[in-house]
């Protein structure tokens, strides 16, 4: 059983993955079609200097961008939270990761001085910023404020 949040009304629905493949599940509250499976954004997307403009600035939904590095302990603590938020996105937002060591141009453009830095983009602009390792509830609250 998977919990899927309706993109239309925000209601949480229990969906059996096996049955969802054979039938089109709908929201029990408003009747809208539910997005289940890989289309729900189950994993964060990797962003590079080359793909940043398209994947983040050009996105049609809010984007939570995690600026991180593999050697950073707090970044490794935040990584499972990013995975959870991506799995819970259900098409409402995008979770992306930018390795600042491999993509210094974008990191410099964004003014990243500390990691992890979490940026929330909406309409191609930064609308929120979190610096340092934060609990899931704090990150989710900031993200939900921009949905």
Q: Is 80 exceeded by the pLDDT of residue 17?
A: no
pLDDT value at residue 41: 44
Q: Is 60 exceeded by the pLDDT of residue 38?
A: no
> Predicted confidence band at 11 (pLDDT cuts at 50, 70, 90)?
confident
Contact 81, 88 (CB under 8 A): no
Q: How far apart are CA 63 and CA 42, in angstroms?
A: 14
Q: Is 70 exceeded by the pLDDT of residue 36?
A: no
Q: Is 70 exceeded by the pLDDT of residue 27?
A: yes
pLDDT value at residue 52: 97
User: Which residues touch 41 (CB under 8 Å, ≥6 apart)?
Assistant: 86, 87, 89, 90, 91, 93, 94, 95
Encode pLDDT of 96-122 as tens digits.
Answer: 999 999 999 999 999 999 999 999 999
Question: Higher confidence at residue 90 or residue 21?
Answer: 90
DSSP collapsed to 3 states, 71-138: CCHHHHHHHHHHHHHHHHCCCCCEEEEEECCCCHHHHHHHCCCCCCEEEEEECCEEEEEEECCCCHHH
Spell out the domains of the chain, with CATH numbers in brackets.
2-37 (2.30.30), 41-144 (3.40.30.10)
Active centre residues (catalytic): 72, 75
């Amino acid at each position: 059983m998977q919990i899927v949040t309706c993109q239309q009304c925000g209601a949480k629905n229990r969906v059996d993955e096996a049955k969802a493949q054979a039938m089109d599940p709908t929201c029990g509250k408003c009747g809208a079609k539910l997005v289940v499976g890989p289309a729900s954004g189950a994993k964060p997307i990797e962003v590079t200097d080359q793909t940043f403009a398209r994947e983040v600035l050009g996105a049609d939904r809010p984007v939570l961008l995690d600026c991180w590095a593999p050697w950073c302990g707090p970044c490794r603590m935040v990584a499972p939270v990013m995975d959870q938020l991506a799995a819970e996105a259900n098409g409402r937002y995008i979770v992306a990761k930018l390795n600042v060591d491999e993509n210094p141009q974008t990191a410099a453009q964004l003014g990243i001085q500390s990691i992890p830095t979490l940026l929330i983009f909406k309409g191609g602009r930064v609308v929120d910023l979190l610096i340092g390792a934060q609990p899931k509830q704090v990150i989710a609250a900031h993200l939900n404020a921009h949905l």
